[in-house]
Amino acid sequence: MRGRFEALAIPLMDPLYRTACSMTDRVTAEDLVQETLLHAFKAFDRFEPGSNFKAWVFRILFNSAMNLHRYRRVRVLLTDAGRIAEELPESKPYLSPQVVDDLGSNLGDDVLAALKALPAAYRVIFVLSTFEEFTYRELAAILDIPIGTVMSRLSRARGLLREALAARVPGEAPP
């Protein structure tokens, strides 16, 4: 069982880390990936052979990240109500410096700035769809939202990016 799990999980370590970095800082991302893989290994006997292992593991990653954000919010509420805004996921940069550097070699500064400016709900859909190439159905399962919501958020993210990038080009108007 361990060998089969490793054969499926090891190729996903980089994409899991990239996605985790896009949701939090690098140190926390490392912990999230480790927690995700540990949880996946413990639950591997419940994984249905023939189903999408990548989507299954990314769902575990997403749940772990959401649990971490909930934990941080509660901790902040109990210790320092004045710092709530600093700890909410929406207020954190979606792309960590490491991910920005990695993407920067492939994307221009304008694209990165526009991507970072997207609301978190749109960024996560766009990043998972574009960079990890998940289908609508897989995204709906990973994020536990209806396919229609996936489609509308992805469409809205693309539209916002298009507008932001068109605004950066002199003389260009958004389509």
* Domain boundaries 1-92, CATH class: mainly alpha
The pLDDT, as a whole number, for residue 65 is: 84
Domain with CATH 1.10.10.10 in the chain: 94-175
What's the DSSP call for residue 91? G
Domain with CATH 1.10.1740.10 in the chain: 1-92
Chain CA centroid to CA 26, Å: 13
Is the overall model pTM greater than 0.85, yes or no? no
Residue pLDDT tens, the chain, 175 long: 888 999 999 999 999 998 888 777 888 889 899 999 999 999 999 998 888 999 999 999 988 888 777 666 545 444 443 343 344 344 333 344 454 445 445 556 677 777 778 887 888 888 888 878 889 998 888 888 899 999 999 999 989 988 887 776 655 545 5
Q: For tokens 């469409």, what's the residue? A: 155
CB-based contact 157:123 (threshold 8 Å)? yes
Q: For tokens 């994020």, what's the residue? A: 143
Q: Alpha-carbon distance 159 to 77, whole Å?
A: 35
Q: What is the dihedral of CA 20, 23, 26, 29, to 10 degrees?
A: -40
The pLDDT, as a whole number, for residue 170 is: 55
Q: Which residues does 169 contact at the CB level (< 8 Å), separation at least 6? A: none
Q: Alpha-carbon distance 157 to 136, whole Å?
A: 14
CB-based contact 77:86 (threshold 8 Å)? no
HSE-CB at 63 with a 13 A cutoff on CA atoms is 14
Report the CATH architecture of 94-175. Orthogonal Bundle (1.10)
What's the DSSP call for residue 43? T
